[in-house]
Amino acid sequence: MTNDHTNSDISSRSGTSTLTSIINISSRVNGVAAADSNGGDGCSDLTPTETVKENGGPCTATGEEPYRLNPLGLNLVSDAVRGRGVFSSRSIPAGTLLEESPVLVLSKAEWDDGRMNETVLGSYGFCWREGGMAIGLGIASMFNHSSSPSVNFIRNYDRGTITFRTTRRVDAGQELCICYSADESKLWFTPAGREAEWKRRVEEEDREDEDRMINGLWALEPDELVDAKELDEAEKRRAERAKRMALRGPNGDVSISLGSKEARRAKWAEKERLRQEESSTGSSTSARGSSPSGSAASSSTRKSTPMIAPHAVRPSTLVAATPILPKYPSLPPRVISDLPPPLHSTPSKRYENPTPAVLCEDINWREDGEGSEQPTEWGLVRRIKGPADQEEGDDDTLLDLWVVEIDDTKLMRHMLDFSKELCGSDSKMRHLKRVARRPNVNGIDRQMIVLSRVEVLDRSELIDMMLEFHPALSIFSPFIYSVPKSAARSQEELRQKSPIWPVVYTPALSKPNDSSTWPDARKSWVDAGIRRVLDLALEAQQAGQVPVACFVSSPPESLWPSNDGFIPPTPGLRACSHDTRNTELHPLRHAALNTIASIADLRTRPPFSEMQPTRNGADYLLTSLSLFLTHEPCVMCSMALLHSRVREVFYVFPAKRGGGFEVTEDGGGFGVHARKDLNHRFEVWRWEGHVDERVRELLDIDDDLEV
C-alpha cells in the first residue's frame, strides 16, 4: 500500500471504517497479517464485549479466527459506552513496547481552520508541539482513557511517532488504556462508570462559573458595562441562583432543579457566546487546551466539548477564565512605614539557587522483618482518621426525610417519577431504596416513598412542587420519617438497618486501624523509614536547624497493594530533607515542602528523566510514594502533600497545636488527608513505637512553630 493510496483511503472515508483502515495499515506496518497469527483462542475470553474483526464487524462465536492487531496479540474489543478499545489476549509484562505508532501532524492553523474539532477526528488528536495536533495511526487512536492507565505514551517529535509501553503487567483479556489527562475534569466525555461523580463536578463548576460571572459584572463600574443586557442577564442569574440556593441544604450540597438539562444547555450556550466574544477581541490566552478554535463553538450541538483527546478541556473549564473579570475597588495607597519590618536581614540569601536534589541512600530493611541495623521493639502504628473516614464509620445515626404513604397503584408511577426527579441528585440519599413496604396497624401492607431531606425543603415547598409536577399528587400529605443515614457496610448492618428503611449494601474495604496485621516486611520497612527521619532530624538539630526531617520513597514492589487502582511508583525514586528555614532565611522551607521540591527536581534529571513517568502530565507528583516525617505537618504542608497526591504518610510527634492531620472528637483539627471536600485522600499513620527520651527532648519544638 503506497502512501498516496493510504492517504486517499483515509480521507475518502469517514467514521468507523476510516479507523478500521488505519488499523489494517498498522497490522501491515507490524508485518502481521490481519488474521490471528498467534493461535489464539477466539473471542470467548473477551466477553461480554464483542471483538471487532478486520472489516469492523463483530466476531461471532462461529469458530471464525479471532482478529489480532499485532504480534503481541492485541485485539480491538468494543462496548456500547466506550466504543472500541485495545485488549490483550495474553499476559504482557510491564515495560513492554506495544507499538511505535506513526502520526499525521496538523499545525494549529490547519487544525483550527479545518474545524477538525467538529469532525470525528476531534476526539482522536494528540496535542503536538507548537500547538499542533497529531492523529495517531496504528493502535494509537484506539486506546481508551483510564485514570490508572496500564499504558504510557511518549511523543517522539523528531521521529513523528508516539511510543506506547505498558506500565504494569497486563493479563489476558484486560483492556490496555492510556491516561488522556491526569485531571479528568478536562475530558470532553464522561469516563465510563464515573457518571455520578462527573455530574456533581459539572454542577459545581457551573455554580462557580456563574458566581464568577455575576460577581464580575457586579464589580464593574456602570460606565464600564459593555452591554446593559448583560447586566439584566446577570440579575436574572442571581435571582435564579437565589431560588436554587433556597432548595439547597444548609451545606449547599444538593441542587434540586427540575428540567435542569435545558438550563445547563442555555448556560453553556451563553458561555460559548462569551468565549467567542473573548476570542474576537483577542483577549484570550491562546494555549492549546484552553482555547479551542473559534469555529468549535458551533459544534456544541454535536457534543459538549469540541476538543481533542489527550489534554483537552471542557467548555465550562474554558470559561472559568471568563472575559468579565471582577474589578476590585482600588485600595488607598499604602504608606511604606505601615509595612511590617522585613522578615529577614539578608535578602540576597532568599533567592539563592537551591542546590540540586540528591538521590538519598535507601533505608535498611529486611523482607523477613528480621535483623535490621537497629532492631526496634516494634511499636504500634495507628491510622489517623480524617472527617470523611469518621463520617463513613458513623453508622448508627438517622436522617429525617419527607415521605408519603401510598396505596393507589395508579398514582404510584407519578409519585415514583416525582421522587426520582426530586431526590435523584441528592448524594445524601443515594444509599436509600426509594420504596419501603411496612405493615400498618391493621396488618395491611402500606408503601412509603421517599421524597426529600427535611433540611432541604420545607413542607409547603414540597407540596407546591408535587402539585406542579402532577395535579393528582395534591392528595398526598408528606410526613417526616427517620431513616438510616448511611448504607450497610456489612451483613450485620444490613440486618439492623433494613427494618428501619431498606438501604443499599456497599461492603467497605476493611482498612486496618493499626499495624498489628501488617506483614513483617512492611513493619521492617516502616521502622527503617522512621529511624531514617529521626536520625536526620537529630543531625538537623545539631546543625542549628529546626529539628524536623522528612524522607520519601517508592515502596519496594513486594509491598505494593494488589488493588486495581494502584499506579506503580517510579522505581528507586527517593529523597530526604530537613527544615531549612534558619539557613535559607525563608519561612516556608519546611521539611515536607523541601522534600516535595527535591522529588520534582530529581524527576527532571537522569536516570528519572529517562524513565517512563507513572502518568503523563503528572511528573512532579508523589503518586504511589510513601513519606515519613518526624512531626505532624502544618496545614500548609499537609495541603502540599495532598496536592502532590502522596499515597501514605507516617509521622512520630503529633502537632501540639494546629497540625494538618489529627482531628479531635469535638470536631476540631483539619484532617486534610481525608476530607470529602478535597479531591485526593491519603492514608496517615502515627508511629507510637519506642523513641528514646533523650531523642524526644532534642526533637521537641515550640508549641507555636508551624512545621
- Give 99 or 662: the residue with its C-beta nearer to ligand SAM: 99
The x, y and z cell numbers of residue 19, run together, are 479507523
Query: For ligand SAM, which residue of 56, 83, 131, 173 counts as binding (CB under 6 A)?
Result: 83
Query: For ligand SAM, which residue of 40, 66, 73, 85 counts as binding (CB under 6 A)?
Result: 85
Query: For ligand SAM, which residue of 42, 191, 249, 323 counts as binding (CB under 6 A)?
Result: 191
Residue 452: CB atoms within 10 A of its CB come to 24
- The stretch among 79-87, 460-468, 478-486, 679-687 that binds ligand SAM (CB under 6 A) is 79-87
Q: What residues between 151 and 180 interact with ligand SAM by CB under 6 A?
A: none
Peptide bond just before 332 cis, omega within 30 deg:
no
Q: Does the protein bind ligand SAM through residue 117 (CB under 6 A)?
A: no
Query: To the nearest whole angstrom, how small is the minimum distance from the Cβ of residue 150 to ligand SAM?
Result: 13
Query: For ligand SAM, which residue of 33, 61, 81, 467 counts as binding (CB under 6 A)?
Result: 81
DSSP summary character for residue 92: B
- Give 153 or 501: the residue with its C-beta nearer to ligand SAM: 153
Cα separations (Å) of 83 from 143, 180, 313? 10, 16, 21
Query: To the nearest whole angstrom, how small is the minimum distance from the Cβ of residue 143 to ligand SAM?
Result: 6
Q: How far apart are CA 235 and CA 237, in angstroms?
A: 5
- Radius of gyration, alpha carbons of the chain: 29
Closest CA to 146 of 193, 178, 188: 178
Query: For ligand SAM, which residue of 309, 384, 399, 699 counts as binding (CB under 6 A)?
Result: 309
- Give 136 or 529: the residue with its C-beta nearer to ligand SAM: 136
- Give 78 or 419: the residue with its C-beta nearer to ligand SAM: 78
Query: To the nearest whole angstrom, how small is the minimum distance from the Cβ of residue 82 to ligand SAM?
Result: 4
Q: Does the protein bind ligand SAM through residue 196 (CB under 6 A)?
A: no
- Give 189 or 608: the residue with its C-beta nearer to ligand SAM: 189
- The stretch among 188-196, 350-358, 443-451, 465-473 that binds ligand SAM (CB under 6 A) is 188-196
Task: Give 444's contacts (C-beta < 8 A, 6+ positions apart).
Answer: none
- Give 174 or 390: the residue with its C-beta nearer to ligand SAM: 174
Q: Does the protein bind ligand SAM through residue 192 (CB under 6 A)?
A: yes
- Give 162 or 530: the residue with its C-beta nearer to ligand SAM: 162
Q: Does the protein bind ligand SAM through residue 189 (CB under 6 A)?
A: yes
- The stretch among 75-83, 93-101, 265-273, 411-419 that binds ligand SAM (CB under 6 A) is 75-83
* Per-position DSSP letters for 343-366, written without gaps between them: S-S-HHHHTPPPPPP--PPPP---
88 - beta bridge partners?
Answer: 74
CA of residue 592 relative to chain centroid, distance: 23
Query: To the nearest whole angstrom, how small is the minimum distance from the Cβ of residue 616 to ligand SAM?
Result: 14
Q: Does the protein bind ligand SAM through residue 654 (CB under 6 A)?
A: no
Q: Hunting for cell 478554535 — which residue is that?
A: 293
Three-state DSSP string of 637-655: HHHHHHHCCECEEEEEECC
Nearest residue (beta carbon) to ligand SAM: 83
Three-state DSSP string of 449-479: EEEEECCCCCHHHHHHHHHHHCHHHHHCCCE
Q: How far apart are CA 189 and CA 314, in angstroms?
A: 9
- Cβ atoms of 133 and 21 closer than 8 Å: no
Q: How far apart are CA 94 and CA 178, in angstroms?
A: 14
Q: Does the protein bind ligand SAM through residue 142 (CB under 6 A)?
A: yes
Query: To the nearest whole angstrom, how small is the minimum distance from the Cβ of residue 305 to ligand SAM?
Result: 10
CA of residue 575 relative to chain centroid, distance: 25
Q: Does the protein bind ligand SAM through residue 299 (CB under 6 A)?
A: no
Q: How far apart are CA 218 and CA 305, in angstroms?
A: 29
Pattern 622-651, binding to ligand SAM, x per CB under 6 A? ------------------------------
- Give 309 or 406: the residue with its C-beta nearer to ligand SAM: 309
Q: Given strand 445-453, what is the order of strands in its sheet?
A: 435-439, 445-453, 398-406, 479-484
Extract long-range pairs of 246-249: CB within 8 Å, 24+ residues apart: 246/461, 247/456, 247/457, 247/461, 248/456, 249/428, 249/453, 249/455, 249/456
**Maximum Cα–Cα distance across the chain:** 87
Query: For ligand SAM, which residue of 124, 476, 551, 682 counts as binding (CB under 6 A)?
Result: 124
Q: Does the protein bind ligand SAM through residue 82 (CB under 6 A)?
A: yes
Q: Does the protein bind ligand SAM through residue 186 (CB under 6 A)?
A: no
Q: Does the protein bind ligand SAM through residue 145 (CB under 6 A)?
A: yes
- Give 445 or 564: the residue with its C-beta nearer to ligand SAM: 564
- The stretch among 78-86, 167-175, 463-471, 530-538 that binds ligand SAM (CB under 6 A) is 78-86
- Give 197 or 455: the residue with its C-beta nearer to ligand SAM: 197
Helix (H) or strand (E) holding 154: strand 151-156
Three-state DSSP string of 463-530: HHHHHHHCHHHHHCCCEEEEEECCCECCHHHHHHHCCCCCECECCCCCCCCEHHHCCHHHHHHHHHHH
Sign of the Cα pseudo-torsion (599, 601, 602, 607, in order)? positive
- The stretch among 81-89, 360-368, 504-512, 582-590 that binds ligand SAM (CB under 6 A) is 81-89
Q: Does the protein bind ligand SAM through residue 84 (CB under 6 A)?
A: yes
* Per-position DSSP letters for 38-79, written without gaps between them: S----SGGGTTSEEE-TTSPEEPSSSPPPB-SSTT-EEEEEE
- Give 305 or 594: the residue with its C-beta nearer to ligand SAM: 305
Helix, strand, coil percentages in the chain from 3-state DSSP, rounded to 5: 35, 20, 45
Q: How far apart are CA 72 and CA 38, in angstroms?
A: 8
Q: How far apart are CA 565 and CA 381, in angstroms?
A: 24
- Give 145 or 603: the residue with its C-beta nearer to ligand SAM: 145
Q: Does the protein bind ligand SAM through residue 56 (CB under 6 A)?
A: no
Backbone angles phi, psi at 403, to 5 degrees: -130, 160
Sign of the Cα pseudo-torsion (607, 610, 615, 618, in order)? positive
- The stretch among 83-91, 161-169, 401-409, 535-543 that binds ligand SAM (CB under 6 A) is 83-91
Q: Does the protein bind ligand SAM through residue 141 (CB under 6 A)?
A: yes
Q: What residues between 503 and 532 interact with ligand SAM by CB under 6 A?
A: none
- Give 492 or 564: the residue with its C-beta nearer to ligand SAM: 564
- Give 122 or 132: the residue with its C-beta nearer to ligand SAM: 122
Amino acid at 490: S
- Cβ atoms of 310 and 186 closer than 8 Å: no
**Number of residues binding to ligand SAM, judged by CB under 6 A:** 16
Q: How far apart are CA 269 and CA 275, in angstroms?
A: 10
Q: What residues between 10 and 39 interact with ligand SAM by CB under 6 A?
A: 19
Query: To the nearest whole angstrom, how small is the minimum distance from the Cβ of residue 121 to ligand SAM?
Result: 10
152 - beta bridge partners?
Answer: 165
Query: To the nearest whole angstrom, how small is the minimum distance from the Cβ of residue 165 to ligand SAM?
Result: 18
Query: To the nearest whole angstrom, how small is the minimum distance from the Cβ of residue 133 to ligand SAM?
Result: 12
- Give 141 or 553: the residue with its C-beta nearer to ligand SAM: 141
* Contact positions vs ligand SAM (CB under 6 A): 19, 81-85, 123-124, 141-142, 144-145, 189, 191-192, 309
